[in-house]
A and B are shown apart, each in its own frame.
Chain A
Amino acid sequence: MVSLPSPRKPRTSVNQPTPGYRVFQGVNGVILTLVVVVTLYPFVNIVARSFSGERQIRAGEVTLWPKGFNLTTYEIVFNDGMFWRNYGNTVFYTVVSTAVAMALTTCYAYVLSKKHLKGRGFLVGVAVFTMFFTGGLIPNYVLITSLGLKNTVWALALPNAISVFNLLVMKAFFESLPDELEEAAQIDGLSTYGILRRIVLPLSKAVVATMVLFYSVSFWNSWFSAFLYMDRTDLMPVTVYLRNLIAGATQGGNAGATTEQLSQTAANIQAVTIVLTSLPILCVYPFVQRYFVSGVMLGAVKG
């Protein structure tokens, strides 16, 4: 690459696409359309099913649009006080767990991103080792019980506070920030905490947003920890509630009960579950996406 001072020219002048690029754009369009079709169809089908009657579902008639419109399953779920209670729990657990996780992960990732730091290799090793070596179910259970964390949100938030995968990804991002900025800030008399808060984090909005998304989605969808460490139905997150509902609907044979309602539930509880659990996250997503705009970082620095 040549190094010339960059006189800012109006972009349009150099932005003339070549014919080859036009062809590429066309091909790209086709590929992405295919991606959309392939990923959107099953989801639309599931949404349609969740609103369809059982006869039509069982006959395999439902494709993109609900057939035999039916809200029974939604009604059953919505009319159950426990559902709302557990939904509230999920929101609460997700917010707390994500906050704790972001705090710990950001701090540690920032520390690990400092190449000059003595003992850095050891600190990374401490984390990487735990990706592979873990404790078994029973030791973990005994630990949580003897710490007195059972039946509290901490039983979910603390043991999962750092995902090593997220940690290392975040570390890689911090490393790619130009050192000069921090050095300048240091000269200006900012402490390490100040640099992290005022310089590094504002520059890393995209990765912070990504990590919030990753953590919250995984906490939102998780059920196993709650299932292990919560003893009362009213403490469960909605994932456990719905998982149990599905189990009841699909192996309901031995429970014996069926009215028309149950039969309908059995037909589309899976679909309803997916709509109910993924919808909130899908609604949150656009807010996260805002931060994925090119050039955020340097705009902020130069300003």
Chain B
Amino acid sequence: MNNAGLSRRQILAAAGFIGLATLTACGSGDESSDGKDLSKKQDGAMKQYRAGDRFKATKPLSFEVLHNNNPVYPLKDDWLFWKELTERTGVTLEPIAVPLSDYEKKRSLLIGAGDAPFLIPKTYPGAETPFVSSGSILPVSEYLDLMPNFQAKVKQWRLQPELDSLRQSDGKFYLLPGLHEKVKSGYSLALRTDVLDKHGLKAPGTWDEVYEVLKALREEYPDRYPFSDRWSTNTTFPAGALFGYLGQAFGVRAGWSYLNISWDPAQEKFVFTGASDGFRQMVEYVRKLVADQLMDPESFTQTDDDAVKKLLAEKSFVISANPQELVQNYRYNLQKQVEGSRIEMIPVPLGPAGPVVLGGSRLENGMMISSKALESDSFVALMQFVDWLWYSDEGQLFTKWGVEGVTYTSSGPGAYRPKEGVSLLGSDPDAPKDMQKDFGFYNGVFSYGGSWELVSSSFGPDEKKFQAAMAQREQLPVDPPHPLGSVEQEQASLWDTPLKDHVTQNLLQFVLGKRPMSEWDDYVAELKAKNMQQLVDLHNKAYERYEKENA
């Protein structure tokens, strides 16, 4: 047999495996007594490094980074990004490529097996929580003094409350999030404006007007549902986008941003979202849309493809959108299918909660750092490097737009455009080079967040208009920190899911008219039977405990 030679090695290695397993069993949890003595970890670090300085390692360094490999711009070793980065900072990054399709799975596995690189980017707030109690992830909040740019941005943009919401039960936080100066809104309704014009209808500004417009459309086209929505299959919440921005208008977190627990500023305590008044009003609103046949009942279960197909075939005129989908999918395809069609995204219509956007959305995905980094001699340099590349104005400009004169030209701050012959996001289909594919800039692993000036510098006209309107809205306060301990966390996650299931299931039953609204109280009683109160109490207890310990 061809693998016979391997077998003895296998036995030996297998024995080694057992040994290794026991070794790691004993070895974990032995934190160095005082992590704060960094005097021996200064290799390559700058003595003086302040906000606005360019980081330059005093000797060549290299760090491994987990790299989310996006097939739109697959990782290449000859990207200008790597070369220029090494030139500017003296740091060579060694990417470990993980396919985008299953990035989270591999990340969890690598950390679980103790095999993760120092830098673990593309981590969304909350995703770091499971790794906290084992001590495998660095409590970055303890080392912010090494990160002047990060601190400056937090102060300048008043992000402390957001940052506090990341704190774990030990009062530290473990994730360096992406920081935004302003909220960047994602989703809203898109309407066929040419159809509206034809029937003398105006784009709606409030949800009541949305109802009126849909009703008018139904009267014109009695055989069609004017509104057929998407983002319902293989997602955490049916019609996740719609309920997200609709909920916001009612002052509740629904849709993709749904959490069982939400802060009620009036009562100063946490309450159960799915049983709140705002949630009920939202349900009643959608129920009316469905009952009056203004909204397609399949909206909550059909695939995205089917929903878009209905839009393109003019079986519907309204659909949820984000700026990219609007331009690249709906408008692009509609123009091919329907002569003279126009489709526009409107600012999120207003509801009872007034002109608000949900809090907390100024934090984006960010970076975890492996605890092992702390044992490295170049730990200080690593933190300075991270601070420069991800949080300094210069670093952010570099990761997004690249090198002036080579990949972009500038006519003043905030006014950047790709250089002649370079295409960014399809801006110039005939250009020989692509900003992402050929140079490695505007890469989601390195480029996110930043000043409004920088973020908006790549907006298309539609997005500019939409974001400008949304930027006028007032941000609702962020929930106060209420971190659970790891055992509590485990219990909470077992209560959370059945409760959320019951909420989404009944949400759809109410909305589709399969359950009468008169049974709302029964529904709340059912939630109680599923430990609703225990979950709320758990979070309120955690909130009080945190308040007391960190007053």
- A and B: interacting chains: yes
Stretch of B6-14, B156-164, B487-495 that contacts chain A: B6-14
**Are the C-beta atoms of B308 and A244 separated by less than 8 Å?**
no
B97 contacts which of A99, A232, A251, A252 (Cβ < 8 Å)? Answer: A232
A55 to B109, CA, bound (A): 41
Chain A proximity of B400: nearest CB distance (Å)? 12
A142 contacts which of B6, B17, B75, B328 (Cβ < 8 Å)? Answer: B17
Return chain B residues, CB-CB under 8 Å to A100. 2-3
Known: A145-B115, A254-B324, A263-B329. 8 other contacts (CB 8 A): A58-B333, A147-B10, A233-B69, A233-B74, A243-B99, A244-B71, A253-B325, A263-B333
Q: Tell me if A158 is interfacial: C-beta within 8 Å of chain B.
A: yes
Shortest Cβ distance from B15 into A: residue:
A146
Return chain B residues, CB-CB under 8 Å to A84. none
Those of A245-267 within 8 Å (CB) of chain B: 245-249, 251-260, 262-263
Chain B proximity of A148: nearest CB distance (Å)? 7
| A interface residue count range (under 10 / 10 to 19 / 20 to 34 / 35 or more) | 35 or more
A158 contacts which of B3, B328, B329 (Cβ < 8 Å)? Answer: B3
**Are the C-beta atoms of A54 and B333 separated by less than 8 Å?**
yes
B99 contacts which of A103, A244, A251 (Cβ < 8 Å)? Answer: A244
**Are the C-beta atoms of B112 and A138 separated by less than 8 Å?**
yes
Q: Tell me if B332 is interfacial: C-beta within 8 Å of chain A.
A: yes
A103 contacts which of B2, B10, B442 (Cβ < 8 Å)? Answer: B2
**Are the C-beta atoms of B312 and A259 separated by less than 8 Å?**
no
Q: Tell me if A37 is interfacial: C-beta within 8 Å of chain B.
A: no
**Are the C-beta atoms of B100 and A58 separated by less than 8 Å?**
no
Return chain A residues, CB-CB under 8 Å to B106. 227-228
Chain A proximity of B173: nearest CB distance (Å)? 24
**Are the C-beta atoms of B6 and A154 separated by less than 8 Å?**
yes
Interface residues of B, CB < 8 Å — how many? 53
Chain B proximity of A193: nearest CB distance (Å)? 12
**Are the C-beta atoms of A253 and B322 separated by less than 8 Å?**
yes
Q: Tell me if B410 is interfacial: C-beta within 8 Å of chain A.
A: no
Return chain B residues, CB-CB under 8 Å to A253. 322, 324-325, 328
Q: Tell me if A141 is interfacial: C-beta within 8 Å of chain B.
A: yes
Those of A28-63 within 8 Å (CB) of chain B: 54-55, 58-60
Given A148-B13, A227-B106, A246-B101, also A60-B309 (CB < 8 A): yes
Q: Tell me if A82 is interfacial: C-beta within 8 Å of chain B.
A: yes
Return chain B residues, CB-CB under 8 Å to A262. 72, 328, 426
**Are the C-beta atoms of B13 and A146 separated by less than 8 Å?**
yes
A249 to B70, CA, bound (A): 10
**Are the C-beta atoms of A255 and B70 separated by less than 8 Å?**
yes
Return chain A residues, CB-CB under 8 Å to B313. 59-60
Return chain B residues, CB-CB under 8 Å to A147. 9-10, 13-14, 17
Q: Tell me if B337 is interfacial: C-beta within 8 Å of chain A.
A: yes
Q: Tell me if A183 is interfacial: C-beta within 8 Å of chain B.
A: no
The residues of A with any CB-CB pair to B shorter than 8 Å are 54-55, 58-60, 80, 82, 99-100, 103-104, 137-139, 141-143, 145-148, 154, 157-158, 227-228, 231-233, 236, 240, 243-249, 251-260, 262-263
Given A54-B333, A142-B113, also A258-B324 (CB < 8 A): yes
A233 to B425, CA, bound (A): 24
Return chain B residues, CB-CB under 8 Å to A251. 100
Q: Specify which of B9, B16, B336 lies most central, judged by the most chain A CB atoms within 10 Å of its CB.
A: B336
A146 to B10, CA, bound (A): 10
Given A233-B74, A244-B69, also A257-B1 (CB < 8 A): no
Chain A proximity of B431: nearest CB distance (Å)? 10
Given A55-B337, A58-B312, A227-B102, also A257-B436 (CB < 8 A): yes
**Are the C-beta atoms of B2 and A248 separated by less than 8 Å?**
no
**Are the C-beta atoms of A255 and B16 separated by less than 8 Å?**
no
Return chain A residues, CB-CB under 8 Å to B75. 233
Given A255-B70, A255-B73, A258-B328, also A247-B101 (CB < 8 A): yes
B109 contacts which of A138, A236, A256 (Cβ < 8 Å)? Answer: A138
**Are the C-beta atoms of A255 and B1 separated by less than 8 Å?**
no
**Are the C-beta atoms of B429 and A252 separated by less than 8 Å?**
no
Return chain A residues, CB-CB under 8 Å to B429. 259-260
Chain B proximity of A83: nearest CB distance (Å)? 10
A147 to B70, CA, bound (A): 30
Return chain B residues, CB-CB under 8 Å to A59. 309, 312-313, 337
Contacts A/B (CB < 8 Å), 7 sampled: A59-B313, A142-B17, A228-B106, A255-B72, A256-B324, A259-B426, A263-B328
